[in-house]
Amino acid sequence: MKKKVLSLTIFLILIFNINFLCQTKKGNVYSADSVKISYIDEGKGNPALIFVHGLSINKFYWNPQIKYFSKNYRVVAVDLAGHGESENTRNNYTVQAYAEDVAAVVKNLNLEEVILIGHSMGGAIIIEAAKLLKERAIGLIGIDTYHDLQVKYSQEEIDEFIETFKSDFKNSSKEFVLGMFPQNADTGIVSKVEHDFINADPRIAVSTLENVFSYDEQENIKDIQIPVISINADLYPTNAEANKKITDFSVKIIEGVGHFPMIENEEAFNNYLEQSVNELKAEK
C-alpha cells in the first residue's frame, strides 16, 4: 500500500511538471562558454525575480513560485548547465561558470533590475552572478543556505566527503538526501528528490560538489554591496549574528520543513519570499 501511495505521488508530480511545461514560456541562451542554457520566463513587472535551483534538480522545482509570483512580477527560472533541459557539455562545473549561466539569461532578456534567488548551492552561484550583473542586482535571497558564512572546509574534509560519492554514487546520494529532511517529511517529496539525486550524472554532481565546497562565500560576498536575506528551514541552525558581521544580512525561519521549503510548505515559503522581495524593493 505504501509503495502504491509513493508511486501515485511521484506520478502526480510528474504530470504536474508536464502540464506546467506545456503552459510556460521557455527560452534558450548560450552561456559564456557556448553551453546552451534553458529557462522559463513568465509574467511582467519590476524587479524581475531570478530563480536558481540547487544540485541535481532543475527549474521545475520552482513551479509553485512561478505560478504565484508571475501574477505581479517577471519571473525567470534557470536550468543551470548539466541540469534539466540545459546542455551538459561542460568539463568543469564551477560556481563561476554557473554564475555565467544566470548572467547570460538576465542579459539576454535585457532585465535592468533583478532579485537573485538561489536554493542551496544556488546561494553561492547568485553571489557570483551579482558580481557579474553589477548594478542590475538589487538583492540576494538564499533559500536554505548562508547558514554560516564563516564556515570553511579543509581540503582533507572536502576530499573525504567527495570520495564517498566517487566510490558509491547512488547510495551516497540517497543518504545525502535523507539527511535533508525531518523524520516527518512528506514521503512523496523525499522520494521525488531522492530519485533526481540518484539519477543525476555522477560526473556533473561530483564536479559541482568539489567546486561548491571549495568556494569561499565569506570572501566573495564582501565584493557585493547589496542586502542578503536567507529563508531557511529550522533543520540546520543559522548563525545570523556571524553573518551580520560580514554583510547586510537577515533571516526568516520556516519551522518543520527540510532543505526544500519551496515545495514542502508552499504557502509559508511564498509568504516569506514575498515579504523579502518587498523589503529589498524598499531598500534599493
How confident is the model over 252-273, as a mean pLDDT? 98
The answer on pLDDT for 88 being more than 80 is yes
Segment 105-136, tens digit of pLDDT: 999 999 999 999 999 999 999 999 999 999 99
Helices (H) and strands (E) in the chain, counts: 12, 8
pLDDT band at 256 (very low <50, low <70, confident <90, very high): very high
- Residue 147 pLDDT greater than 90, yes or no: yes
**Given this model, what pLDDT does residue 19 score?**
47
Q: How many domains would you assign to the chain?
A: 1
CATH assignment of the domain containing 81: 3.40.50.1820
Task: State the residue for C-alpha cell 520566463.
Answer: 41
Range of the domain at 38: 2-283
Q: Give percent of the chain with pLDDT exceeding 90.
A: 90
CB contact at 8 A, 253 and 272? no
Half-sphere exposure of 218 (CA within 13 A, CB side): 14
Q: Residue 5's pLDDT is what?
A: 45
Axis-axis angle for helices 169-178, 155-167 (nearest 10): 120
pLDDT for the residue 11: 52
Mean of per-residue pLDDT scores for the chain: 93
